[in-house]
């Protein structure tokens, strides 16, 4: 089918018609798949988790990013996506890192994440957790938080779902291919997080089963196979200082 034929068919089913041809094709294919499976109830999203917490840290940097440079987190925004209603909630705190981390943990607890509701962290790439948060916890002499030990790397999920190469998974390119423009100021942690959340929502609408695909163990980044049994993230614990 041509792109216009795909758009026409999607419009017929009252589905989103924006995006490049491969995205439209995948969207239509998943719609047919859902109809065939005769889902018990219609939902806007399709997720194994009740909530997805989108994080996109902004850290200090130096021209050329020399290997010896120590990055420190200067923005810690969290965008919470309700996978059933696809509504967004935001926390964006400005304080010392230990206090911000404690505020985020308390914010997550108040929403009963990891207790009443299942959830997963989601990032745009591997560095937020495996590098920036890892380094910052060492600088601040805080134990690495348990809730951040595994996450969804949306770049991997996007590439695998839409069958596109790695160079097509940058934030602005993902938005463009989904027929969306960047909303806000680039490289603002909060704006980046909100745009990543928009991509996650569109992927859920297109039928993507967003699952944890990366974790950190012993300070090392590891890949999580999609065949591994699903588990929700543990309830967030208050950070402990090292003596």
What domains can you pick out in the chain, each with its CATH number? Answer: 3-37 (1.10.720.30), 51-61+72-223 (3.30.420.10)
As a whole number, mean pLDDT of residues 110-137 equals 92
Q: Which residues does residue 58 pair with via DSSP β-bridges, in sequence order?
A: 75
Is-contact 192 171, C-beta < 8 A? Answer: yes
What is the pLDDT, as a whole number, of residue 36? 75
As a whole number, mean pLDDT of residues 151-165 equals 95
58 a catalytic residue: yes
Burial 93-111 (b: 16+ CB within 10 A, else e): eeeebeebbbbbbebbeeb
What is the pLDDT, as a whole number, of residue 52? 96
Q: For the segment 192-204, what is each residue's pLDDT rounded down to a tens digit?
A: 999 999 999 999 9
Q: Which of 62, 112, 187, 231 is catalytic?
A: 187
Q: For the segment 31-56, what is each residue's pLDDT rounded down to a tens digit?
A: 988 887 754 444 444 568 999 999 99
243 has a pLDDT exceeding 70 = no
Please tell me the distance from the alpha carbon of residue 75 to that of residue 56, in angstroms, as a whole number.
8
What is the pLDDT, as a whole number, of residue 93? 61
What is the pLDDT, as a whole number, of residue 165? 92
What is the pLDDT, as a whole number, of residue 33? 85
Please tell me the distance from the alpha carbon of residue 115 to that of residue 121, in angstroms, as a whole number.
15
What is the pLDDT, as a whole number, of residue 60? 72
**Lowest mean pLDDT across 33-47, 114-128, 174-188, 215-229:** 33-47
42 a catalytic residue: no
pTM, two decimal places = 0.84
Q: Which of 58, 71, 75, 214 is catalytic?
A: 58
Is-contact 115 207, C-beta < 8 A? Answer: no
What is the pLDDT, as a whole number, of residue 43? 44
Please tell me the distance from the alpha carbon of residue 207 to that of residue 203, in angstroms, as a whole number.
6
Q: What is the DSSP string of 129-179?
A: IIIIIHHHHHHTTBPPPGGGSEEEEHHHHHHHHHT--GGG-SHHHHHHHTT
As a whole number, mean pLDDT of residues 182-191 equals 87
């Amino acid at each position: 089918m041509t792109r216009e034929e795909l758009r026409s068919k999607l419009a017929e089913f009252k589905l989103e018609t924006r995006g490049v041809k491969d995205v439209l094709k995948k969207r239509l294919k998943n719609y047919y798949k859902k109809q065939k499976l005769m889902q018990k109830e219609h939902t806007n999203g399709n997720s194994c988790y009740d909530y997805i917490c989108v994080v996109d840290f902004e850290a200090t940097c130096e021209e050329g990013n020399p290997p010896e440079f120590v990055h420190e987190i200067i923005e810690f925004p969290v965008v919470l996506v309700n996978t059933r209603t696809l509504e967004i909630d935001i926390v964006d705190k400005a304080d010392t890192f230990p206090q911000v981390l404690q505020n985020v943990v308390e914010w997550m607890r108040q929403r009963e994440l990891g207790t009443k509701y299942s959830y997963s962290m989601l990032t745009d790439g591997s560095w937020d957790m495996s590098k920036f948060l890892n380094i910052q916890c060492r600088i601040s002499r805080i134990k690495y938080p348990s809730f951040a030990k595994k996450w969804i790397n949306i770049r991997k999920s996007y590439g695998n779902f839409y069958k596109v190469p790695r160079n097509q998974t940058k934030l602005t390119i993902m938005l463009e291919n989904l027929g969306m423009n960047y909303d806000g100021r680039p490289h603002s942690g909060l704006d980046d997080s909100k745009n990543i959340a928009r991509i996650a929502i569109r992927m859920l609408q297109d039928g993507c089963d967003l699952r944890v695909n990366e974790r950190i163990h012993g300070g090392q980044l590891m890949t999580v196979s999609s065949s591994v049994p699903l588990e929700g993230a543990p309830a967030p614990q208050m950070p402990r200082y090292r003596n």
